[in-house]
Structure 1
Amino acid sequence: MNRFSYVRAESIDEAVREVVTDPTARFIAGGTNLIDLMKYNVERPERLIDITRLPLNEIEETDGGGLRVGALVTNDAAAHDPRIQARYPLLSSAIMAGASPQLRNAATTGGNLLQRTRCYYFYDSGTPCNKREPGTGCPASFGRNRIHAILGTSNHCIATHPSDMCVALAALEAVVHVAGPDGTRAISMADFHRLPGDTPEIDTNLRHGEMILAVELPPADFGTNYTYLKLRDRLSYAFALVSVAAALRIDGRTIAEARLALGGVAHKPWRDSEAENMLRGQAASAERFADVADYILRDAKAFDDNAFKIDLARRAIVTALSQAAAGTPQSQTDKRIQ
């Protein structure tokens, strides 16, 4: 780990100013990902700006009937908030599927959005990696790539985004509120994370110096027909090989509204609006769900070790939609697939 200086910000303006004036500076809150990256010499900030004293740790009602979750709200607090459990149980379930109780007590909402990939080569500073050092190559493309992406890849990077929370936020069409040197702005979850393209080192569309203030959850009606299904190598403390956040609004026997997002398969939470359109106005059936899965995975590309992910994702989509339609969400305590 490199040497660094430390400043505790007393205001949002001060925090932004400290980072804007020093290109090597980074915000730090829970630090559950950043500190690991510093220990591995992947991240080498020369200055850390502590934002833990800022007033960003509340969950508040919005005028439109949604919720605003502060950037410093811990994952545990968000998952167990009665309003989130009642109105956005998909989000609560996704959070509980991730990490461990100890990490959920420290990790924050803002930090969760900024998690970096767990690609083996990204974490190994002794190997090339376009995400860590642009222009050095992507050894995952021809090396060990069992956990890597099957959708939205490029010749420069096939890494996946690791967050469970972000998959649910994408399905719920959350909005990220940020502050920076040019003031505040809102970014939809669909636009917050990026596909690798030819700049895999850039994970998000945040501008230099911008800090996450909160995540806004719009009003939703997915309290009954939802599920977060996470498939992984072991039942706890493991990142998703494939995950599916599914939320439906069913009117009689017809799907009136559908939301679907995948994790573990791309550089960002993967959502396909056309696939959701295929569900609207249709009766819930395994055949329709299989058609939707095939459509989502129509451009999936496998590499040497991860071809199994395509079929795994197909079956996960069908199972998740079936669970959501039946109103039998996947339990995050008894993880046996229902």
Structure 2
Amino acid sequence: MKPFEYTKPKTVREALSSATRHSHYIAGGTNLVDLMKKEIDEPDKLLDITNTLPDQIEVKDNGVVIGAMVRNTAIAVNKIILESWPLLSKAILKGASPQIRNMASAGGNLLQRTRCPYFYDLTLPCNKRKNGSGCGALKGNNRMGAIIGYSDACVAVHPSDMCVALAALDAKVNIQKADGSEETMNFLDFHRLPGTNPEKDNNLPENALITSIFVPKNNFSKHFEYLKLRDRESYAFALVSVAAALDMDGNQISEARLASGGVAHKPWRWTKAEDFLKGKQATAENFAEAARIAAEDTAPLSTNAFKVPLLKGAIETALHTCLTNKA
């Protein structure tokens, strides 16, 4: 590991003013430290922000504000989250391991790198490490790769489970920029597709800080599911995951939310399938049609075509489970 300077700013303003092009903020460090050990990321300076950012969950009239330094475990077991946003809790508990969830911060979860095995191997080409070097996974081992939204430059998929739930729940990200100004960004706009710049995972301005995440009130706390399909039951990234939530009026669907992980460079919302379900009866036939609509836009790679029927089955199963998986 390359030697680095370590400082611990006392305030957000001090952290922002101390940031440089070759520095990184560190919170839980569950992703950054791995990258530093593997010499993929070699910052000159680390700014420890554990004591500068909000670490509380605050209920508002229109939703809940989750401070950027709230640990993932604290979100998942919080009574308010369990009562009003149980989909978020269930998604978090499907991710990583208890030890990592105990350390990982809410803001850091959003900022973990989108990656595949080629990203971790310095002997193999990867445009995320060095744009222009090529994407080894494009025609190589892409079993875990994307089936939608990818480009010739990168086929890696976003690893977070928490972020899939936040995408489904129409969250917002509160940001403080380097100049001290504040910005609120729709969660669906926060992460990027690879395009020609796969080295950029998100749209966070340079040296800016995530201060909190806002999740609006909704009517999805009674009918929800987070289904994660993976090679092993614990501590594994999703082959395909589905966050599903239904607002029901009797057997009629007033609103639907469907998002997936393991399929794209960012958490993916299946908006056309959601639109189809709105106003429909909650039947097996309609759930199957919603799954078909979602899958019709996919374009699998050379070794991951199995993800398409996996996705369809996961969407159908998650929607059925929404009807019985009541908080």
RMSD of aligned C-alpha atoms? 1.1
Match of 1:215 among 198, 213, 216: 213
Match of 2:256 in 1: 258
Once the two structures are superposed, the pairs formed by residues 1-338 of structure 1 within 5 Å of their partners are 1-19=1-19, 22-62=20-60, 64-182=61-179, 183-327=181-325
Which secondary structure state, in structure 1, belongs to the residue aligned with residue 243 of structure 2?
A: strand
Residues in 1 aligned to 2:89 and 2:289: alpha-carbon distance in whole angstroms: 28
Instruction: For structure 2, list consecutive stretches of 5 or more residues without a partner in the other structure.
Output: none
Residues in 1 aligned to 2:283 and 2:321: alpha-carbon distance in whole angstroms: 11
Deviation at 1:272, TM superposition (A): 2.6
Which secondary structure state, in structure 1, belongs to the residue aligned with residue 96 of structure 2?
A: coil
Deviation at 1:61, TM superposition (A): 1.5
Amino acid at match of 1:146: R
1:17–1:209: 8 Å Cα contact kept in structure 2? no
2:53–2:68: 8 Å Cα contact kept in structure 1? no
Amino acid at match of 1:5: E
What percent of counterpart residues are identical?
A: 51
Deviation at 1:55, TM superposition (A): 4.1
Residues in 1 aligned to 2:272 and 2:56: alpha-carbon distance in whole angstroms: 35
Amino acid at match of 1:154: S
Deviation at 1:209, TM superposition (A): 1.1
Q: Deviations over 1:296-338 (max 9, x none)?
A: 1212111222111111011001101111133358xxxxxxxxx
Residues in 1 aligned to 2:257 and 2:137: alpha-carbon distance in whole angstroms: 31
Residues in 2 aligned to 1:118 and 1:204: alpha-carbon distance in whole angstroms: 13
Residues in 2 aligned to 1:192 and 1:314: alpha-carbon distance in whole angstroms: 26
Residues in 2 aligned to 1:310 and 1:41: alpha-carbon distance in whole angstroms: 35
Q: Deviations over 1:56-110 (max 9, x none)?
A: 1000112x33110000000000000000000000000000001111111100100
Amino acid at match of 2:205: R
Amino acid at match of 2:88: L
2:15–2:47: 8 Å Cα contact kept in structure 1? yes
Which secondary structure state, in structure 2, belongs to the residue aligned with residue 142 of structure 1?
A: coil
Deviation at 1:174, TM superposition (A): 0.5
Q: Deviations over 1:156-213 (max 9, x none)?
A: 1100000000000000000000101231100111100011111111000011011100
1:227–1:328: 8 Å Cα contact kept in structure 2? no
Which secondary structure state, in structure 1, belongs to the residue aligned with residue 277 of structure 2?
A: coil
Deviation at 1:129, TM superposition (A): 0.5
Residues in 1 aligned to 2:137 and 2:83: alpha-carbon distance in whole angstroms: 41
Residues in 1 aligned to 2:105 and 2:92: alpha-carbon distance in whole angstroms: 11
Deviation at 1:293, TM superposition (A): 1.3
Amino acid at match of 2:130: E
Moved beyond 2 Å, runs of 4+: 325-329
